[in-house]
């Protein structure tokens, strides 16, 4: 019988790459896709007609119990820059523990897509994930923690839109001379699929998941420029403007954003202007049996 797999933030970037890899295998899995907004409820219901798409509040413990009811696998992603992200994670872990204790429970795996270096306490969105990781490690659940880095996909649309520009200029959100190890959504999805399918081999593992060695943001931009056959000029946007841009992208263009939600992007940009997030791509290479996707390869594949 098909096993039920639950995804939170099912409309987000990560799930948009993970779910299609598993959805094509209906005899193996049934899907419960958890969304927050009415618009995502509608779009996912039409995109995945065989899935159960539900709108639930991760802040409500009873609703978290409904989310994990009869689940075999829970794949938890927390919402971007949400001040209650840690509590959402605790609620989902508590609900999964209760589920695992039911007679004839099927629950066998809790996967948490966290972030590279959750121990960076200067970053609120990392520190909130550190607390979830701690809570999960101390729970009786069989878990796997995935730690993706800054996604190369984030700025790829803006970069590729320069392909017909005679004098391309990329406006960077932070200091372009700071280095990052980039992740790639499709690599992250492929690792997630492998972990879901192989399951027990990955119990109690925490995987640092970068697709590249550290590279300066300017090198990332130029590597995509080479694919476009262009030299791209890089300018830097003022920090306050980037915070507003991030807030409108994440929380909605027209909304007045509560300071508790703004704190995350403000701290992130202060940090990214001085330090990047770096890690080794070797773990991802070991898991996938191939090197991670470079930004240039990602750009080339999106253009083809």
Which parts of this chain interact with ligand NAP (CB under 6 A)? 9, 11-15, 35-37, 40, 58, 77-80, 82, 115, 125, 148, 150-151, 154
Q: How far is the CB of 167 from ligand NAP (least distance, A)?
A: 28
Helix axes 124-137, 259-272, angle to 10 degrees: 100
Contact 232, 168 (CB under 8 A): yes
Q: How far is the CB of 251 from ligand NAP (least distance, A)?
A: 8
Can you give the C-alpha Rg of the chain in angstroms?
A: 19
- Distance between CA atoms of 157 and 245, rounded to whole angstroms? 15
Helix or strand or coil: residue 230? coil
CB-nearer residue toward ligand NAP: 27 or 157: 157
* Nearest CA-CA partner of 28 in 11, 3, 53: 3
Q: Which residue of the chain is nearest ligand NAP when measured via CB?
A: 12
Helix or strand or coil: residue 27? coil
Helix residue ranges per DSSP H, the chain? 13-23, 38-47, 61-68, 85-100, 124-137, 156-160, 185-198, 217-228, 239-251, 259-272, 282-288, 295-303
Q: How far is the CB of 126 from ligand NAP (least distance, A)?
A: 8
CB-nearer residue toward ligand NAP: 11 or 181: 11
CB-nearer residue toward ligand NAP: 12 or 214: 12
CB-nearer residue toward ligand NAP: 225 or 279: 279
Q: How far is the CB of 279 from ligand NAP (least distance, A)?
A: 11
Q: How far is the CB of 225 from ligand NAP (least distance, A)?
A: 21
Q: How far is the CB of 93 from ligand NAP (least distance, A)?
A: 15
- Distance between CA atoms of 178 and 7, rounded to whole angstroms? 33
CB-nearer residue toward ligand NAP: 6 or 230: 6
CB-nearer residue toward ligand NAP: 95 or 115: 115
Q: Which residue has the tokens 């940090």?
A: 271
């Amino acid at each position: 019988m098909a096993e039920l797999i639950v995804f939170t933030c099912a409309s987000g970037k990560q799930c948009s790459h993970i779910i299609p890899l598993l959805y094509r295998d209906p005899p193996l899995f049934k899907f419960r896709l958890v969304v927050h907004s009415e618009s995502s409820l509608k779009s996912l219901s039409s995109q995945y007609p065989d899935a159960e798409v539900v709108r639930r509040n991760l802040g409500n413990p009873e609703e978290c119990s409904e989310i994990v009811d009869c689940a075999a696998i829970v794949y938890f992603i927390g919402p971007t820059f949400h001040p209650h992200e840690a509590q959402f994670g605790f609620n989902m872990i508590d609900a999964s523990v209760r589920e695992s204790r039911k007679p004839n429970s099927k629950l066998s795996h809790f996967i948490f897509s966290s972030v590279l270096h959750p121990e960076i306490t200067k970053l609120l969105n990392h520190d909130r994930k550190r607390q979830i990781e701690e809570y999960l490690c101390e729970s009786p659940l069989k878990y796997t923690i995935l730690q993706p880095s800054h996604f190369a996909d984030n700025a790829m649309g803006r970069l590729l839109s320069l392909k017909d520009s005679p004098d391309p200029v990329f406006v960077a959100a932070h200091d372009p001379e700071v280095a990052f190890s980039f992740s790639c959504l499709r690599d992250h999805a492929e690792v997630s699929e492998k972990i879901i399918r192989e399951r027990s081999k990955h119990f109690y593992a925490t995987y640092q998941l970068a697709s590249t060695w550290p590279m300066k943001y300017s090198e990332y931009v130029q590597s995509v420029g080479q694919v476009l056959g262009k030299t791209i000029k890089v300018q830097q946007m003022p920090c306050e403007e980037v915070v507003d841009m991030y807030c409108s992208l994440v929380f909605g263009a027209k909304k007045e954003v509560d300071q508790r939600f703004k704190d995350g992007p403000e701290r992130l940009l202060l940090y990214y202007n001085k330090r990047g997030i770096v890690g080794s791509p070797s773990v991802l290479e070991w898991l996938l049996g191939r090197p991670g996707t470079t930004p240039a390869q990602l750009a080339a594949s999106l253009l083809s």
